[in-house]
Structure 1
Amino acid sequence: MYLELLFFAYLIDFIFGEFHLIKTLYHPIILLGNYIKWFEKKFYKDTIFRGFLLTISLLSLVFIVTFLLSKIDNIYFQALLCSFTISSKMLYDSVKEVISSDNPKYAISMLVSRDTKEMSESDINKAAIETYAENLSDGVIAPMFYLAFFGIVGAFIYKAINTLDSMVGYRNEKYENFGKFAAKLDDVANYIPARITALLISLLFFSKTAFQKFYTYGKKHESPNAGHPISAMALALNISLGGPTSYFGKVKEKPYFGEGKKEIKKEDVKKAISIKLKMDILILASLLLLIV
């Protein structure tokens, strides 16, 4: 396992968050997105096979580059690169910005794909908590999981899969077929991390209810993974997330996750993101104990 590499990568993200790279460089995740946009522009067809080619070509490129980088025998250099796959600080800062912004609708629109124009304050707060819970898995626990077992190669292969899903994995007219392979692969990649995240949320909030019931509510979500951390967070905070939500001008009748109040306040968002410091301490202390 790559526990020492994971420790330094997480520590870098904890201290610095997202680096602002100089203009001649690009963030590695932006490079992934640029390739996806280029392939789609040049080779898009409304077929599963063409989406399969996109996925395989991107993952092959990522594997080759990261395998070569893994041969550079410098743990701090590798940790710096791996820190780009972990988004704990950026996620926290982004969600915190929603409740501190003078324009919360704009702030939340930067984080979600749902319609934000007619959102109430409660809707905004609900979306912020759902985003935080779901992305604790996608942006923090999952890349850490693959980094721990497969090093820099595993971390960036996961981020490539997740980036593909976030860009083409939509169930709409354009991406229903083209993004299907990427979306299914993302479901597989997130299966274990999503459940670890739900358990971690239950543990850090000392919530027996969340631990016992997150799966019951989580399996109601159309995604096989996203519902579990969202449900754990809702149960831990004694609120209800989910419910009718507007996407691309159409209201989707999503089930409710949780058993508490449906009017979500800023205080609920603050309580949700308060998990970060406890999580940071637990992760860094646990890794340090394992590697010394």
Structure 2
Amino acid sequence: MTAAWILAAALVLDALVGEPDWLWRHVPHPAVLMGRVIGWSDKTLNNGTHRKAKGIFVVLGLILLGAILGTLVTALGTLVEIVVVAVLLAHRSLMQHVHAVADGLRMSTLQGRRAVAMIVSRDTRDMPPPAIARSAIESAAENFGDGVVAPAFWFLIGGLPGIIIYKLVNTADSMIGYRTDRYILFGWASARLDDVLNWIPARVTALLIALPAGITSQWRAIRHDAALHRSPNAGWPEAAMARAINVALAGPRAYDGVMQDFAWVNPEGARKIGPTEIDVCLTRLWQAWFVTLGGSMVLGLLSLLIG
């Protein structure tokens, strides 16, 4: 069974089952285990001198660990491989978390703030409804890239070692890849490698959102808006989503009590938005998911024809 067919099966399994709570109450989720390894590395090595070198050493260790684990699990057979890939994808879980923001916002602004605080790192205490909706939409678009498209891409490129290495590096970036006094040196390698690993998937994600929305003619504007983002990659899915549902995203927001004046993405789009726009965003992401599934199946058919 080729990687493309395994990916297609895993995408469907993840969409149907998602993250079963009953399972993760009894065994730790792989993401939790990855976090423990990185947390141990941070606690043990992120001190004293040569922190940048130590951070590079950690990333090299994560790559080696991912390669070994991926090779060992692949040897267990196709069925196990499908299950592991499904676990490492996160589409259904993402949809559920973002849908919870829309449901909370329909009940009250407070409930919306509580729900969106589960998926974003910015300050949510004083968020008005439009800012809550923007935060949810931005998080949904960006995490579709990080949690679905990028893992799928690296599985197609490198099998289970590829997807596990990607998830380890991406988890490291989310934990230690910050430009703070503590992590600017130790987390440098993980942040830079995560940028490299997400460079192609971020742009593919934008295309997957744009295709079913019929906005590929706006690609130049999407590219322009993506360049406004502080991340070299996160701006691409956000810019595509902004135009796919005709809303303005980004703009001013607060982190740690400090308001930051970020540029607007698709500034001509609607700014007074709420749960309805979140619902439309989720529809666009399901459409992008179907395109991803279809693309994987086409690759699988091509491999059969060529083989």
Structures share fold, TM-score greater than 0.5: yes
1:254 is paired with a residue of what secondary structure? coil
Matches within 5 A, 1:29-44: 29-44=31-46
Q: Is the 8 A contact 1:125 1:266 kept in 2?
A: yes
Query: Equivalent residue for 2:283?
Result: 274
1:277 aligned partner, one-letter code:
W
Cα displacement (A) at 1:23: 4.3
Q: Deviations over 1:25-58 (max 9, x none)?
A: 2111110001111121222227212222222222
Give the gaps of 5 or more residues in structure 1. none
Query: Equivalent residue for 1:241?
Result: 249
Moved over 4 A (4+): none
C-alpha separation in 1, matches of 2:214 and 2:5: 28
Q: Does 1:57 align with 2:61?
A: yes
Cα displacement (A) at 1:231: 0.7
Cα displacement (A) at 1:291: 2.7
1:129 aligned partner, one-letter code:
I
Return 245-254 or 40-49, whichever deviates more: 40-49
Q: Does 1:263 align with 2:285?
A: no
| Aligned with 2:97 (options 71, 88, 94) | 94
Query: Equivalent residue for 1:25?
Result: 27
Query: Equivalent residue for 2:305?
Result: none
C-alpha separation in 1, matches of 2:216 and 2:5: 32
- Aligned pair count reads 291
Q: Does 1:184 align with 2:184?
A: no
How has the CA–CA distance of structure 1 residues 208 and 64 changed in structure 2, closer, same or farther, with 3 Å as cutoff?
Answer: closer
Matches within 5 A, 1:67-216: 67-72=71-76, 74-101=77-104, 102=107, 103-208=111-216, 210-216=218-224
How has the CA–CA distance of structure 1 residues 22 and 242 changed in structure 2, closer, same or farther, with 3 Å as cutoff?
Answer: closer
Give the gaps of 5 or more residues in structure 2. 302-307
How has the CA–CA distance of structure 1 residues 199 and 282 changed in structure 2, closer, same or farther, with 3 Å as cutoff?
Answer: closer
Q: Work out the percentage of aligned pairs sharing the same amino acid.
A: 33
1:274 is paired with a residue of what secondary structure? helix
Give the RMSD, CA atoms, in angstroms. Answer: 1.7
Cα displacement (A) at 1:209: 5.1
| Larger fraction in helix | 2
2:75 aligned partner, one-letter code:
K
1:52 is paired with a residue of what secondary structure? helix
1:118 is paired with a residue of what secondary structure? coil
How has the CA–CA distance of structure 1 residues 24 and 149 changed in structure 2, closer, same or farther, with 3 Å as cutoff?
Answer: same
Cα displacement (A) at 1:210: 3.8
1:246 is paired with a residue of what secondary structure? strand
Cα displacement (A) at 1:65: 1.5
C-alpha separation in 1, matches of 2:143 and 2:132: 16
Q: Does 1:288 align with 2:297?
A: yes
C-alpha separation in 2, matches of 1:64 and 1:208: 40
1:48 aligned partner, one-letter code:
K
Query: Equivalent residue for 2:304?
Result: none
C-alpha separation in 2, matches of 1:276 and 1:291: 22
Q: Is the 8 A contact 1:2 1:150 kept in 2?
A: no
C-alpha separation in 1, matches of 2:65 and 2:260: 37
C-alpha separation in 1, matches of 2:115 and 2:287: 25
How has the CA–CA distance of structure 1 residues 173 and 63 changed in structure 2, closer, same or farther, with 3 Å as cutoff?
Answer: same
Query: Equivalent residue for 1:8?
Result: 9
1:35 aligned partner, one-letter code:
V
Q: Deviations over 1:88-108 (max 9, x none)?
A: 111111000011025111111
Query: Equivalent residue for 2:228?
Result: 220
Q: Is the 8 A contact 2:208 2:291 kept in 1?
A: no
Q: Is the 8 A contact 1:67 1:153 kept in 2?
A: yes
1:291 aligned partner, one-letter code:
G
C-alpha separation in 2, matches of 1:240 and 1:197: 19
C-alpha separation in 2, matches of 1:264 and 1:210: 22
2:142 aligned partner, one-letter code:
E
C-alpha separation in 2, matches of 1:17 and 1:210: 33
Q: Does 1:251 align with 2:259?
A: yes
2:261 is paired with a residue of what secondary structure? strand
2:100 is paired with a residue of what secondary structure? helix
